[in-house]
Chains A and B, each alone.
Chain A
């Protein structure tokens, strides 16, 4: 199967997943718009209004809101993508059985489930930036590189998580808790400047921070993304992707014995 065929297959799966994600709910796909908006409102209320957090070098709460959403948007996509991809084999195994779809396509297609949320986030950022008068620069085109890289990273992680979840169902319970923890550990609603020295190295090595940070640099500070971070992300994503695929291929022959 060539690359084109595989892409088509993944695209079909992605559409199917998206269609079926909110099946049975009244407003359906609208939830993928409402949900991120609600999340944003909640977090902005807590961090911006109650805790009165500010961006370094700015006194405006409005700036903080934009700054926060810039980092929160990729997080929404990561959150959604990881949850979907961990579940992808269990929920999609019938497609493998009945439509001869390669099981590798399931985590790949699911990892992009956060795309609508991400889209909503970017639209919100554009609107708010327009209102605040900080117009977006050409740096926004960096998204063309960053977004695929982000999904590439989630896919690599997804290979591990999806295959593992088949055998260790507890993962479905563990992952949301872990993600919640990660949200607070990663500088998303607070700045990374708070850390220095060894602590900062730890933060730097956190790929989730790198993704969020790059979104901020592009959309909020309107500068080129940090190249060392970018290089680090590319390396770690590639390593994760390849090792994940090997891991997945090792395990996929045994899916049938537990599903």
Chain B
């Protein structure tokens, strides 16, 4: 079988029983199917618990698949749990030597490689001291140094980088690259997309045990990155939604000046809007015994805290709220053609008295941009954003306040 190295994975399934949940089967891999030819260096990416490590375990036949088959031509070398074989009582040198012996190196070659490794790990006197005296960084170096012995045909590595100081990580990345160039097939799991990009030429993205994407590393990594960012947003959105619901309950109990702040697109009461829609804001304020000048501020910011809109409504018009008695203020406004980037935003109405916040109400909403055609900048990115959104001609945005006062 000389020179004919290949890996075939046919419809592989794997599930585990979870004893804590009454023995329910949890599917870890679902219908995994791919073929790898000689010369391909495959990165496997996915979030934690996606099934990457299980796939590697199955590839090196450490775990058995439930269904499906795996066909491997060539000698497999795997590093799934780097450093776990280090003996605390032995010195670094002896540990590395022991590894070499396990790989079947004879004495002369072993001594030669030991010198190379000593230089590579660069830990001075500690080289001949027991591992138990090492710092974690030094242990990582010794653990990594063991890969020097591998002469890979099919190499399977799981997260070997990542520990150690920056300088060593760089060094070890080079080493891995050198090693991988010698091998015929590589499988690599790493959370470092940077090293995936550097080392692999093909990439498989797994999510919840299924292959989402399989192709050229660059494309897959890009798609994955987008997904992860998007996912973060969704998670924040979920949190925010819980937060909204909590807020709504609190609203009823609190004695507030701002009675309500509503945002809608005129159709539904959902908090999700489509970019480009008109948004209607309704504000209802009731002031009792307020003294002094009060200001009302309307602000829209995204979940990262970038401010997209800030309207000092009363300050700008020079028309402060200045009442001692009772006052009710009802306002409604339309933000026409709200063309924001897809994200999660917070709309807040802040009633303040000389920069002290008297009352504040927040509403969280989401903008979805199906066509991905809008891109909005937060305030401060360019000074004229304010103008663009409210006064400018570039984007047709009309901002009309209509209010009714009654005392």
Residues of A within 8 A of B (CB): 8, 12-13, 15-16, 19-20, 23-24, 94-101, 103, 252-257
Chain A residue at minimum C-beta to C-beta distance from B64 = A253
Contact A257 B16 (CB under 8 A): yes
Complex partner residue of B78 from A24, A98, A254, CB under 8 angstroms: A98
- The B contact surface, by secondary structure, is loop
Smallest Cβ-Cβ distance to A9: which chain B residue: B104
Our pick among A8, A16, A19, A23 for the contact of B104 (Cβ within 8 Å) is A8
Cβ contacts A to B, 28 pairs, < 8 Å: A12-B101, A12-B102, A13-B102, A16-B101, A19-B98, A23-B89, A24-B88, A94-B81, A94-B84, A95-B102, A96-B62, A97-B62, A97-B79, A97-B80, A98-B81, A98-B146, A99-B102, A100-B76, A101-B102, A103-B62, A252-B64, A253-B64, A253-B65, A254-B64, A255-B62, A255-B63, A256-B57, A257-B16
Q: Does B313 contact A (CB under 8 A)?
A: no
Contact size class for B?
20 to 34
Give the Cβ gap from A10 to chain B, nearest Cβ, in Å: 12
B281 at the interface (CB under 8 A from A): no
For chain B, residues 138 to 154, give those with C-beta under 8 angstroms from any C-beta of chain A. 146
Which B residue's beta carbon lies closest to that of A102? Answer: B61
CB of B82 within 8 A of CB of A98, answer yes
User: In the complex, how many residue pairs between chain A and chain B have their CB atoms under 8 Å apart?
Assistant: 60
Q: What residues of chain B lie closer than 8 Å to A24, measured between beta carbons?
A: 88-89
Would A16 and B62 count as touching, CB distance under 8 A? no
B102 touches A97 (CB 8 A): no
Q: Could you tell me the distance between the alpha carbons of A252 and B58 in the complex, rounded to whole angstroms?
A: 12
CA distance A134 to B193 in the complex (A): 75
In whole angstroms, how far apart are the Cα atoms of A118 and B28 in the complex?
Answer: 47
Chain A: minimal CB distance from B101 (Å): 7
B113 is an interface residue with CB less than 8 A from chain A: no
B77: contacting residue among A13, A100, A257, CB under 8 A: A100
- On chain B, the residues within 8 Å of A16 by CB distance are 98, 101-102
Q: Chain B contacts of A253 at CB under 8 A? A: 63-65
Question: Taking CB as reference atom, which chain B residue is nearest A20?
Answer: B87
B36 contacts the other chain (CB 8 A): no
Contact bitstring B284-306, A, C-beta under 8 A = 1, else 0: 00000000000000000000000
- Going nearest first, the 4 A-B pairs with the smallest beta carbon separation are A253-B64, A94-B84, A256-B63, A97-B80
Whether B103 and A99, one on each chain, are in contact in the complex, defined by CB atoms closer than 8 angstroms, is: yes
Q: Given A8-B104, A16-B101, are A23 and B90 neighbors across the interface (CB < 8 Å)?
A: yes
B347 CB-CB contact with A under 8 Å: no
Residues of chain B in range 67-91 having any CB-CB distance to chain A below 8 Å = 76-82, 84-85, 87-90
Residues of B within 8 A of A95 (CB): 85, 102
The interface residues of chain B lying within 8 Å CB-to-CB of A96 are 62
